[in-house]
Amino acid sequence: MTQPFSSGRCLCGKLTYRVTGPTVWSGYCHCGSCRRFTGSVVTNWLGISEEHLEFDGEPPAYYRDGGVTRGFCPACGSSLTYASERFPGYVQLHLGSLDEPESIRPLAHVHFAEKVVWFEIDDDLPRYGGSAAEADEDWGNR
């Protein structure tokens, strides 16, 4: 994927970041864990190599649980990142935290088996019951 953007921030602006390399994937996540962390029925993610993410200003705070680490702004609480031990070296950013979120289009729906039943989807994107890596075993090696 190409990189049509370069920066993002939390709600209060005390935590900003730069992306210095290409993206790996983008998509909608319907899992219960993301729902609870964000308070939304669906989450939009952008995956990158963690070596291509640089934070400025306030450093993120982290919540770790079951092999997953979620980053957020300690001042305003904005949810910003997700990393899993299943995919070492990669981090995901919330698309909504980008300065130009319209520059990235999601490519798939993941954890579709956990989708909230009343949430209607009108697109033709691929839908995976679990993670995109289950459908594309090479994802973790990119």
The answer to the question of residue 1 being in a domain is no
pLDDT at 139: 43
CA neighbor of 30 nearest in space, from 40, 42, 39:
42
The answer to the question of residue 18 being in a domain is yes
CA neighbor of 24 nearest in space, from 101, 109, 139, 121:
139
Residues contacting 80, CB < 8 A, separation 6+? 8, 10, 15, 17, 60, 71, 72, 73, 93, 94, 97
The answer to the question of residue 35 being in a domain is yes
The answer to the question of residue 140 being in a domain is no
Domain span at residue 13 reads 7-135
The answer to the question of residue 2 being in a domain is no
The answer to the question of residue 21 being in a domain is yes
Mind listing the pLDDT tens digit for each residue in 85-142?
Answer: 989 999 999 999 999 999 889 999 999 999 999 999 999 999 998 876 665 543 443 3
Mind listing the pLDDT tens digit for each residue in 18-73?
Answer: 999 998 999 999 999 999 999 999 999 999 999 999 999 889 999 999 899 999 99
pTM: 0.84
Percent of the chain beyond pLDDT 90?
A: 75
The answer to the question of residue 142 being in a domain is no
* Cβ atoms of residues 67 and 85 within 8 Å: yes
Q: What is the C-alpha to C-alpha distance for residues 18 and 55, in angstroms, rounded to an integer? A: 6
Specify the number of domains making up the chain: 1
89: domain CATH number is 2.170.150.70
